Amino acid sequence: MASNRLPWWGRLRQVSAVVWITLVSLAAWLWLLLGQGFFWRTDVRLPPRREPSSWPSVCVVVPARDEAAVLPDTLPSLLAQDYPGHAEVFLIDDGSSDGTGGLARELAKRHGGLPLTVHSPGEPPAGWTGKLWAVRHGIALARARAPEYLLLTDADIAHAPDSLRELVAAAHGGGFDLVSQMARLRVESVWERLVVPAFVYFFSQLYPFRWIAVKGSRTAAAAGGCMLLRADAAERARIPDAIRQAVIDDVALARAVKDGGGHIWLGLADRVDSVRPYPRLHDLWRMVSRSAYAQLRHNPLLLVATVLGLVLVYLAPSLALVTGLVTGDAMAMVVGGFAKLVMTVTYLPTLRYYRQPPWLALSLPVTAILYLLMTVDSAVQHYRGRGAAWKGRTYARPDAALEEQ
């Protein structure tokens, strides 16, 4: 009874450190729920479309390095685009060793459709990533056709037959200089189910889609698998020369276009899919860790803040809930349970978008630990001098385009 007669400041002193930490976590989750652009919602799809009276010409640029395994499932979908205007495809073979270029020509002969040009520019010079060197050559070839739009798409992306038509109508209807769709990634293996939906969830948390389309906002991002870009906006932003060292090239491209006064849009795709498999944890680990530290601008303070933030936001609620159950601390149970509930509810729309069972939302803290370890590993590889490695190339220099932001 004596404790009940304590003044409020005395009762505050009795609150455990676990509860205080979890209250901060709960506050963070309430902010994320309501104040971070409703990032957790998955209803940001292609904006209202308006078909132009005269369909503009489009050149499709596909950088490809060792993509023979996926090209039969993706390139025919580009060649088969049902587009009323003039369109053609430029596949840039970025030093492949698996016959990517020859296979592309064979697929074009077999399937027909849009005209295809295959070009091999050779190894990139110092100061260029291989992909952006390939994109540079693709855009140079395209400019000879004087297109109004460029579609930059990866070799592992399969497009619905009306994909190009819908993208152009969306750009025309909304007056956008860049319209990008985040392709639906493959989720078939156990590890893909655990890691891939969370990748999209974390990305949208960092770059809320609703904020990206707001003119004058600082938020800028795109999804490299599908980016429709006005050719004149690309020239104003000096794409790709201005971002030639960028490991996270899609975000850097969006930032350059927006800084140049462009109006950009990013949302989730309905019928644009990545067919690239990530059957093992090792495959997904490499995919994330190759650029995770570049995302933090190779800043050790940001790395420490990220690790602490992940622990506080994603792990503290579960730890408080377990601690409360074990010790009988009712307040820890309530606060931890409420924070975990908010976390779980915000993840459900992403799981629904990926057609995954709702119970997987309970695994989000485990997935957060994996991403934490991937990020730390990315930093370790950077300081060992290995840089960002991908498809046989290592980019040891910092991501200059991100550091300039």
pLDDT in tens, 160-188: 999 999 999 999 999 999 999 999 999 99
320 closest CA partner among 343, 287, 300, 291: 343
Give the number of domains in the chain: 2
Amino acid at 67: E
Say if residue 273 is in the same domain as residue 297.
no
State pLDDT tens for residues 250-298.
999 999 999 999 999 999 999 999 999 999 999 999 999 988 998 898 9
pLDDT at 244: 94
Say if residue 247 is in the same domain as residue 320.
no
| Distance (Å, whole) CA 328 – CA 86 | 70
- Domain assignment present for residue 221? The answer is yes
Domain range for residue 139?
A: 58-279
- Give the residue from 234, 250, 279 where a domain finishes: 279
Say if residue 346 is in the same domain as residue 361.
yes
- Give the residue from 279, 307, 322 where a domain finishes: 279
State pLDDT tens for residues 21-77.
999 999 999 999 999 999 999 999 999 999 999 999 999 999 999 999 999 999 999
Dihedral, CA of residue 186, residue 189, residue 191 and residue 194, to nearest 10? 70
- Domain assignment present for residue 340? The answer is yes
pLDDT at 387: 57
- Domain assignment present for residue 44? The answer is no
- Domain assignment present for residue 390? The answer is no
pLDDT of 212 above 90? yes
pLDDT at 308: 97
Number of C-beta neighbours around residue 12 at 10 A: 10
Looking at residue 230, which CATH number applies to its domain? 3.90.550.10
Long-range residue pairs from 73-77, CB within 8 A, at least 24 positions apart, any chain? 73/158, 73/275, 74/155, 74/156, 74/157, 74/158, 74/159, 74/275, 75/104, 75/107, 75/108, 75/116, 75/155, 76/107, 76/111, 76/113, 77/158, 77/159, 77/160, 77/161, 77/163
State pLDDT tens for residues 107-160.
999 999 999 999 999 889 988 988 999 999 999 999 999 999 999 999 999 999
Enter the tokens of residue 172: 């025309």
State the sign of the Cα–Cα–Cα–Cα dihedral 174, 154, 185, 163.
Answer: positive
Say if residue 34 is in the same domain as residue 166.
no
- Domain assignment present for residue 120? The answer is yes
- Give the residue from 279, 299, 329 where a domain finishes: 279
Report in angstroms the alpha-carbon separations of 108 from 99, 113, 117, 118, 384.
Answer: 14, 7, 9, 10, 43
- Domain assignment present for residue 300? The answer is yes
pLDDT at 369: 97
Say if residue 269 is in the same domain as residue 193.
yes
pLDDT at 1: 44
Cβ atoms of 73 and 158 within 8 Å: the answer is yes
pLDDT at 10: 44
Report in angstroms the alpha-carbon separations of 307 from 195, 313, 368, 375, 387.
Answer: 18, 10, 10, 8, 20
Q: Which residues, 6 or more positions from 390, have their beta carbon under 8 angstroms from its beta carbon?
A: 286, 290
Cβ atoms of 177 and 251 within 8 Å: the answer is no
Model confidence at 4, in pLDDT bands (50, 70, 90)? low
Say if residue 331 is in the same domain as residue 213.
no
pLDDT at 16: 78
Say if residue 148 is in the same domain as residue 107.
yes
pLDDT at 7: 53
pLDDT of 204 above 90? yes
Higher per-residue pLDDT: 391 or 85: 85
State pLDDT tens for residues 337-395.
999 999 999 999 999 999 999 999 999 999 999 999 999 999 999 888 765 555 666 65
Say if residue 228 is in the same domain as residue 81.
yes
Say if residue 62 is in the same domain as residue 112.
yes
Residue with tokens 């070839």: 141
- Domain assignment present for residue 389? The answer is no
pLDDT at 389: 56
Say if residue 247 is in the same domain as residue 289.
no
Say if residue 227 is in the same domain as residue 305.
no
pLDDT at 395: 58
pLDDT at 370: 97
3-class state of residue 87 by DSSP: strand
- Domain assignment present for residue 99? The answer is yes
Say if residue 302 is in the same domain as residue 206.
no
Amino acid at 403: E
